[in-house]
Structure 1
Amino acid sequence: MGSLIIKQVIYSGDAYYYASPELNKGINIIVGDNGSGKSTFSYFIEYGLGGKIKPFSKNDDNSKYSLIINDTNNYVQLNILINDVAYSLKRFIGSQDIFVKHNQEVDSFSLERDKKSAPFIFSDWLLGKLGIPVFELHIGATHWYFNFSDLFRLLNYDQNTEPRKIYKEPVAENFVADSIVIRKSIFEILLGMSSADYFKKLDAARAALKAKDIAKSLLESFTENHVISGGADRLSDRKDVVQKEILALEIQRNELLKISTHSNDKTGELAEIQSKLVGLELKASQDRIKITNLINEQSKIVILHESLIQEINQIEKIIFTHEKLDLFAMEICPFCMTEKTVDKGFCICGSKFNDDDYEKFVYNTNEYKDILSHRQKSIKAITLAVQTYQEEVKVLTEGLLETDQSIEEYTEKLKKIILTAQFAGNSTRIDEFNDRIIRLKDELVQINFDLRNIDQEQKLQTDFNLKTRAFVLAQNSLKSAKIAYDENNANTIGVFNKVYSTLLAESSYKSVTAYIDDDYMPYIDNGEYKANSSEVPKRLMYYFTILSMALQLESIKHPRFLLIDTPEASGIDTDHLNQNLLLLEKAIEIGTEDIEKSKDYQVILTTGYGKLPEEFGKYIIERFSKKEKNFILKPKIDQSLILKTE
């Protein structure tokens, strides 16, 4: 993966300045007395890479770095190489932006993410250049983006963190920032164990499962609420028969009307009224069917409205108390995503539950928020639907009353005409024809309604089948990715344990067995007690091991950069410290022994005089001394005084 090399560290202000010698690839050592600027050198590097340094903040009352806080127009500049490409990073003291210069182009990136004003920040830029994807993590109600400053916790062995804690103290001061989930994720990201491909396919499988469940729910809901008598073929055949019968009856009725004779000229009026009555009766029948269907649908919507209100109350309670749950279905194991045989109405654990409610408890918090928002919008839509149904029923009812009134009026007219007209034909037979036509047209309306429902059911069934096939494909793809993911992780941890065990056995710890547990924390010699000074090699070898693996394996995303700030802590003596520091060369040797082409790396070590092996003297590039008044911050000469002297 990518490599990060610091070429020069610069500080500049109106009162003070500092410019380091050019740093080398490989090992670089800065030595100095306490208080001369060793840690400040490390601070400059971390600050220039976007880190938070409390002494540089005016809001920190406990450890203000007065010379820097009181300086003006001051900034830290890092000249760096990323994969041998030169960049210059400039960050002003107290600023939350970093200027990046490459060739003649200058870009500015914020350090703080904001969806609207700064969706892409400096960390995203830096991680992108290093080939490390931006990972997201959901922890309860917290949505966590991993920044470079998070990963820096395993790139910087600092003196402020207790050695027993392994990881550098987090920038954010909260329990989530230093939770085991965050620490494990940092380890996995740097060691290439967090497979973007695997998690992408996991998300795809979850989305496919959710889509399948929704399609299944829609299909089951439709079939439960719509009873259809007969299949599509039988209904289509019956429709043809009914249409032919109606046509035949209308022809017979019209012929009967033609041959009917009367003693006056009211025959045409009689036929017209009869035709209007048939039409009105048919319309009234259709309107009654529509009203009945609308009332049924309205009652279902009301039930759904009440159910959604209860569901929203449940979801609000779940969001308040929810921490972290994975999506699963009753047919699928939430851990391995394989199908499980479970009796209907029973949970995977065997407990009985309401099948309609189970999926309310299986999403993560962000998904719950999306569901809650969707349900709340659904409430508005349902309320509007209820109002629409009510308005339609009202309009149809009013229309039906008018139709019934018209029927009564035309019936009275028909009676009067019959009483005043003398027919040679049979009016009773005409009425019989009209009744049969009306009944057949009512049946035709119901047949068309059933055929539309059958068509809708077939569409829902087809959609469910497609979603099921898509889920099976996504699940199979996930299984393949999971196998590769597990194999890679097992191999990576195996290499880590081998290197870590080798280094720690040769350190002042003198361990017999050493490996990392499921939380990636060292477990040494069955947990046997050791003196506090043993925590230094325990932590230091952990960092050396990761660097060694980064030199050895292509899958490692660690940028092959390590900053070690004054490791002489926890009472460790100089001889033991030197013994441990020498193992840095051993770690590098292990990482490069099987590699044909060497990889760029950089280690920057700050330490005190006499607190490093003699063999490391060749790596010293900078010296600070209180005795010689050679501090890291040097006052700028007042140019006006120089002009007056001349």
Structure 2
Amino acid sequence: MKINRVKVTGKLGFDLTFSNRNIILGENGTGKSTFTKLLLYSLGADFDTFIPEISKEKKCDAVNTYISFSNGKEYVAIRKLPSSDIVTVGEIISGEINKDSLTIQSLSEYSEFILSNEGLPITSISYGDEKNASMRFYFYLRGLYVDQETPAYKVLSDIGGAAKEFLNSQSQIRKAIIQMILGAQFSEMYKLRNKLQEIQKNEQLKKSELSSVLSILNTLLPEETINKKSLEKFKTRLKEIQDSKKKLGDNYAKFSKYESNFTIEQSNNLKRIEKNISILLSKDRELTLQIADMNNAKNNIKEEIKEISELFIAKDLILQMPIERCPVCLSNMHPLKKSEKNECPYCHSETNNDNYEDGLAFKRMLEEALIEASELESKLKKERQNNQEKIDNSQKELLGIKKEIQSSMNSSQADKDYLILKNQLELYIKEENKLSTTLDLLKKRNSLKFDLEKIAKEKKELSEEIVSLETEIDKKLNAGKKNWKLIGLEYLKRVFPQSTTFDFDDMYNPILDDFNIRDISSASLKVAVRIIYIVSLFHLKEQRKINHPGFVVLDSPRDKDLDSGRYKKILDILYEQKNQFFLTGSLHDEKLYDKKNILIKLTEDSRLLSEN
């Protein structure tokens, strides 16, 4: 990928054409940083810190960037200033914009357009607790840009302003950016992980459903051991009842004359109440399931509240512990101070200032959810209690009608036989319903257990596939890291000959002679290590097939404490690169730069943005 030209239109603007080596020198406030920001803005990044002429006075209309991709095509991308969520893209054919090819793209579409044309993977990256972010081109820009605002120890530049502050602070995202540039293809692995998450969610639902079924079975069969033998026993008993019902049914005709003794009203009432009882019993089963589900939900919420409460308690305990000496080196411990680097004052890990507030807010949300769940559970229990009262009242009413029928009938032996048989039939029906419900629940239980066994097998196979894929990715990453470390050490020794090692920690932060970049006290050394980190990764593209866009942008990278001799060596390293770079610097250091690579010199009288 190569940037051929950048043109800014409006009352103020500029028009620059580029080669592989592009050095812009200038005095302070003449437009060096504005140039790098406009370049990255044209490629999909956002900035809160454009100069007033752009952000407030609106003297610049749009930035037009002409880009050649590795597929041989050239396009122009036009993005309105100072902020726009859309980009107009058109293909350049024979030096002219093909108007028929013009399309208007959202920033996400524009990102995918750049990635696909450059042959870079379109995927997402995971961070935090099951969170994902689309791998926009903006993330790649963080790995090829050295700015003045981001602390050197963070290495990758913070791009995107306040809207991207949270994502910029995520160490897992910074790690994923480097891994993607090194050539890792995560898209398949993320698909598998997302599939695994869906399977795990389904597993939780099945387990919750099984718990409810077992709870109801325990109510129906409190002293039964539910196994294959008892299942056969239920089936046998159900068949016996159904056979007995059939025999009674076969003899029912001879009892029909006794039915005539019932009044029409009694008969209708009997049918109505029996139907009502059936509906109420069905509702009772449904409410029992809902109450069991709500109880499971409450228990899950309680566990989450317990976990987050323990985190806050642990924090308070640690901060209150009177530790006066370090447990490792026995040195006197200094009081915890607020860090200016957005670090935890205790463990020095990088933090987000909103973590504590977010945690409290999440805890409050869980507590409110628990209250709502408890209220709903109470409502369901009350509704079930009312429903059971209706069942009891209906059964009492049914018994009263039966007594009326019994008293209205003759006391002959036939009448007595009829009542005995009818009562027996009702008992059979009641037991049949209970056994049918029990057998249905047992079938459901067995089905859920089968599903859970199947899910466990799928999880195992998927986990093994993920591990295999991770191993394959690690091999590729380790091979890339090995080359990268050799390049980095070579460059580092040229600038700091006394250096012996150049390595990375688990999060791909640079380590110099066993010191993490965070722990290096020299500001100039930190800056040099950051530049070497970015440039050596840039050079790796010449040796291996990696996902580097093919250019770097260095905005006045020389630190005030970095002496001219060492900075000149860094410049020599940069001049050796075959791919494109953009470098800004102070006009006062002009003698350090190769004159033939200087694109433009900016002064108070010749600023970057001039009247068009």
> Which TM-score tier does this pair reach, normalised by the shorter chain?
0.7 to 0.9
Once the two structures are superposed, the pairs formed by residues 10-409 of structure 1 within 5 Å of their partners are 10-14=7-11, 16-20=12-16, 22-24=17-19, 26-32=20-26, 36-53=30-47, 56-58=50-52, 66=53, 70=57, 72=59, 74-83=61-70, 84-102=72-90, 103-104=98-99, 105-109=101-105, 120=108, 122-123=110-111, 125-130=113-118, 131-133=120-122, 135-139=124-128, 147-161=136-150, 163=152, 165-172=154-161, 174=165, 177-193=168-184, 195-227=186-218, 231-249=230-248, 251=250, 270=258, 272-273=260-261, 298=287, 301-302=290-291, 305=294, 308-309=297-298, 311-312=300-301, 315=304, 389=384, 393=388, 396-409=391-404
Question: What is the CA–CA distance in structure 1 between the aligned matches of 2:423 and 2:260, rounded to whole Å?
Answer: 16
Question: What is the CA–CA distance in structure 2 between the aligned matches of 1:463 and 1:368, rounded to whole Å?
Answer: 34
Output the amino acid matched with 2:548: H
Q: CA deviation at 1:185?
A: 3.3
CA deviation string 1:378-405 (max 9, x = no partner): 8898688667756754654454344323
Output the amino acid matched with 1:17: G
Q: CA deviation at 1:500?
A: 0.9
Question: What is the CA–CA distance in structure 1 between the aligned matches of 2:430 and 2:607, rounded to whole Å?
Answer: 101
CA deviation string 1:523-551 (max 9, x = no partner): 22233978554444322211111112223
Q: Secondary structure at the match of 1:515?
A: strand
Question: What is the CA–CA distance in structure 2 between the aligned matches of 1:535 and 1:249, rounded to whole Å?
Answer: 95
Task: Name the larger-Rg structure.
Answer: 1
Instruction: Indicate the residue corresponding to 1:575 in structure 2.
Output: 565
Output the amino acid matched with 1:445: N
Output the amino acid matched with 1:565: D
Question: What is the CA–CA distance in structure 1 between the aligned matches of 2:75 and 2:67, rounded to whole Å?
Answer: 5
In the superposition, the TM-score normalised over structure 1's length comes to: 0.69
Q: Secondary structure at the match of 1:8?
A: strand
Q: Secondary structure at the match of 2:454?
A: helix
Once the two structures are superposed, the pairs formed by residues 594-609 of structure 1 within 5 Å of their partners are 601-608=579-586
CA deviation string 1:600-626 (max 9, x = no partner): x32122345685799944444x23254
Q: CA deviation at 1:157?
A: 2.2
Q: CA deviation at 1:559?
A: 0.6
CA deviation string 1:4-60 (max 9, x = no partner): x1111212222x33211x323x333334555554444323313323444555254xx
Cα pair distance change 1:489/1:395, threshold 3 Å: same
Q: CA deviation at 1:321?
A: 9.2
Output the amino acid matched with 1:483: T
Question: What is the CA–CA distance in structure 2 between the aligned matches of 1:254 and 1:55, rounded to whole Å?
Answer: 95
Q: CA deviation at 1:634?
A: 3.4
Instruction: Indicate the residue corresponding to 1:624 in structure 2.
Output: 601
Cα pair distance change 1:532/1:608, threshold 3 Å: same
In the superposition, the TM-score normalised over structure 2's length comes to: 0.73
Instruction: Indicate the residue corresponding to 1:591 in structure 2.
Output: none
Instruction: Indicate the residue corresponding to 1:329 in structure 2.
Output: none
Q: Secondary structure at the match of 2:260?
A: helix
The range that moved more, 506-515 or 227-236, is 227-236
Question: What is the CA–CA distance in structure 1 between the aligned matches of 2:417 and 2:85, rounded to whole Å?
Answer: 94
2:542 to 515, 533, 551: 551
Q: CA deviation at 1:226?
A: 0.5
Contact 2:208 2:293 in 1 (8 A): no
Aligned-residue identity in percent: 17
Contact 1:124 1:134 in 2 (8 A): no
Question: What is the CA–CA distance in structure 2 between the aligned matches of 1:292 and 1:502, rounded to whole Å?
Answer: 81
Contact 1:508 1:579 in 2 (8 A): no
Once the two structures are superposed, the pairs formed by residues 529-540 of structure 1 within 5 Å of their partners are 532-540=523-531
Contact 2:302 2:370 in 1 (8 A): no
Q: CA deviation at 1:562?
A: 0.6
Contact 1:32 1:625 in 2 (8 A): yes
2:3 to 1, 6, 12: 6
Contact 1:31 1:606 in 2 (8 A): yes
Contact 2:9 2:62 in 1 (8 A): yes
Question: What is the CA–CA distance in structure 1 between the aligned matches of 2:425 and 2:60, rounded to whole Å?
Answer: 96
Output the amino acid matched with 1:106: L
Question: What is the CA–CA distance in structure 2 between the aligned matches of 1:586 and 1:128, rounded to whole Å?
Answer: 29
1:483 pairs with 2:471: yes
Cα pair distance change 1:558/1:322, threshold 3 Å: farther
Question: What is the CA–CA distance in structure 1 between the aligned matches of 2:22 and 2:477, rounded to whole Å?
Answer: 32
Question: What is the CA–CA distance in structure 1 between the aligned matches of 2:535 and 2:55, rounded to whole Å?
Answer: 32
Output the amino acid matched with 1:403: L
CA deviation string 1:504-532 (max 9, x = no partner): 12234552222122232222223397855
Output the amino acid matched with 1:56: F
CA deviation string 1:562-581 (max 9, x = no partner): 11233332333333322222
Contact 1:36 1:624 in 2 (8 A): no
Question: What is the CA–CA distance in structure 2 between the aligned matches of 1:282 and 1:67, rounded to whole Å?
Answer: 83
Q: Secondary structure at the match of 1:89?
A: strand
Q: Secondary structure at the match of 1:552?
A: coil
Question: What is the CA–CA distance in structure 1 between the aligned matches of 2:112 and 2:296, rounded to whole Å?
Answer: 44
Question: What is the CA–CA distance in structure 2 between the aligned matches of 1:67 and 1:392, rounded to whole Å?
Answer: 70
Q: Secondary structure at the match of 1:501?
A: helix
Question: What is the CA–CA distance in structure 1 between the aligned matches of 2:395 and 2:22, rounded to whole Å?
Answer: 94
Cα pair distance change 1:82/1:510, threshold 3 Å: farther
Question: What is the CA–CA distance in structure 1 between the aligned matches of 2:449 and 2:581, rounded to whole Å?
Answer: 62
Cα pair distance change 1:514/1:309, threshold 3 Å: closer
Q: Secondary structure at the match of 1:562?
A: strand
Cα pair distance change 1:446/1:161, threshold 3 Å: closer
Cα pair distance change 1:86/1:278, threshold 3 Å: same
Structure 1 unaligned segments of length 5 or more: list them.
Answer: 59-65, 112-119, 258-267, 324-363, 589-600, 637-646
Question: What is the CA–CA distance in structure 1 between the aligned matches of 2:422 and 2:131, rounded to whole Å?
Answer: 71
Q: CA deviation at 1:453?
A: 2.4
Cα pair distance change 1:287/1:235, threshold 3 Å: farther
